[in-house]
């Protein structure tokens, strides 16, 4: 993956996560206002968003290393947090749409007219004009019905507003989670890349002291594959056996596997264990 793609994923991840976190925090802030704990609820929303991103990133890493059970567990937790986040995003977007609707000229006009009539009702009741006040109340009731049925300025949003909001909220969640997961995979792949010279491969594990450098007798693509295998074995991601290496590296030849294991064993990195090897 080139740098431009990586930067694009990082930018997309930050943007989508930021919008999703803002919507969720706004929803819980409004919910908490009625309970007198608006800011604590907003902090809870941010923590939920952070947990969602952390779990999705870890799920991608566990899946890449072959730990499918933990990956499935983390995906399940992420799905629950995404459902909560979608609910918060939908509520926040609906509130925003309603607020936008209330700013239209027709809405403001009807609202002001209702307020004036309500003042007139109170005045008529105070002066004893009950019949006129009753007629005015009927007029206010009609205006309230008109206000409730008032269409927005955009007919498409007015007709399909709920569906559009739901689609936007779900798309936002999936984009944020997928972008974070892809960034995690990219980072993991970069960490597993080992720098080597054209003729020698030097491996210096922290627990082996001053191990002499091992000369790789392989060349070309086979040498690159051997380098990658050694790095994965030292990181504990691949079992040091023919079966473990073949499961992690599809299509690798037995000669490459044998040479790689022999070199690691000769360098003291591996020790004989049963019918194969184990880290020393």
Helical H runs in 102-207?
105-127, 130-148, 155-191
Helix (H) or strand (E) holding 279: strand 276-279
- Per-residue tokens: 78: 């992420």
**pLDDT at position 154:** 47
For every residue of 130-151, which 3-state class applies, written as one string? HHHHHHHHHHHHHHHHHHHCCC
- For the chain, the average pLDDT equals 75
* Cβ contact 267:280 at 8 Å: no
- Per-residue tokens: 173: 């969640």
Q: CA-CA distance, 280 to 132, in Å (whole number)?
A: 97
Task: Give tens-digit pLDDT for 77-96.
Answer: 888 888 888 887 888 777 77
Task: Give tens-digit pLDDT for 32-64.
Answer: 887 888 888 888 888 888 888 888 888 887 887
Neighbours of 240 (CB within 10 A): 25
* Cβ contact 101:107 at 8 Å: yes
* Cβ contact 107:146 at 8 Å: no
Indicate the pLDDT class of residue 206, thresholds 50, 70 and 90.
very low
Higher model confidence: residue 251 or residue 186?
A: 251
**pLDDT at position 119:** 92
Helical packing angle, 254-266 and 221-234, nearest 10°: 50
Higher model confidence: residue 165 or residue 218?
A: 165
Burial of 189 (0-12, 13-18, 19+ CB in 10 A): exposed
Q: CA-CA distance, 121 to 132, in Å (whole number)?
A: 8
The domains of the chain are located at 3-103+152-191, 105-148, 195-280
Residue that has been written with the tokens 């890493």 in this structure: 61
Torsions phi, psi for 38 (to 5 deg): -65, -50
Q: What is the average pLDDT across 154-179?
A: 66
This prediction's pTM: 0.43
Q: Which architecture, in CATH terms, is 195-280?
A: Orthogonal Bundle (1.10)
Q: What is the average pLDDT across 259-269?
A: 87
Higher model confidence: residue 159 or residue 255?
A: 255
């Amino acid at each position: 993956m080139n740098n431009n793609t990586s930067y694009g994923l990082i930018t997309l991840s930050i943007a989508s996560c930021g919008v999703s976190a803002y919507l969720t925090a706004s929803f819980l802030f409004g919910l908490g206002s009625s309970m007198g704990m608006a800011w604590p609820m907003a902090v809870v929303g941010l923590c939920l968003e952070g947990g969602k991103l952390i779990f999705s990133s870890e799920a991608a890493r566990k899946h890449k290393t072959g730990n499918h059970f933990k990956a499935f567990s983390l995906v399940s937790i992420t799905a629950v947090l995404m459902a909560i986040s979608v609910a918060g995003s939908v509520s926040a977007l609906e509130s925003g749409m309603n607020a936008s609707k209330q700013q239209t000229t027709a809405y403001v006009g009807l609202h002001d007219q209702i307020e004036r009539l309500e003042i007139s009702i109170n005045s008529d009741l105070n002066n004893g004009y009950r019949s006129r006040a009753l007629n005015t109340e009927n007029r206010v009731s009609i205006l309230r019905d008109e206000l409730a049925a008032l269409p927005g300025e955009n007919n498409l949003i007015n007709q399909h507003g709920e569906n559009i909001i739901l689609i936007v909220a779900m798309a936002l969640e999936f984009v944020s989670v997928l972008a974070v997961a892809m960034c995690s995979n990219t980072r993991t792949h970069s960490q597993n890349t080992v720098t080597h010279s054209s003729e020698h491969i030097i491996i210096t594990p922290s627990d082996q002291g001053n191990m002499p450098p091992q000369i790789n007798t392989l060349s070309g693509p086979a040498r690159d594959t051997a380098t990658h295998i050694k790095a994965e074995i030292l990181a504990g991601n691949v079992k040091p056996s023919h079966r473990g290496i073949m499961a992690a590296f599809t299509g690798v030849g037995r000669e490459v596997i044998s040479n790689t294991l022999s070199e690691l064993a000769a360098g003291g990195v591996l020790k004989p264990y049963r019918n194969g090897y184990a880290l020393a």
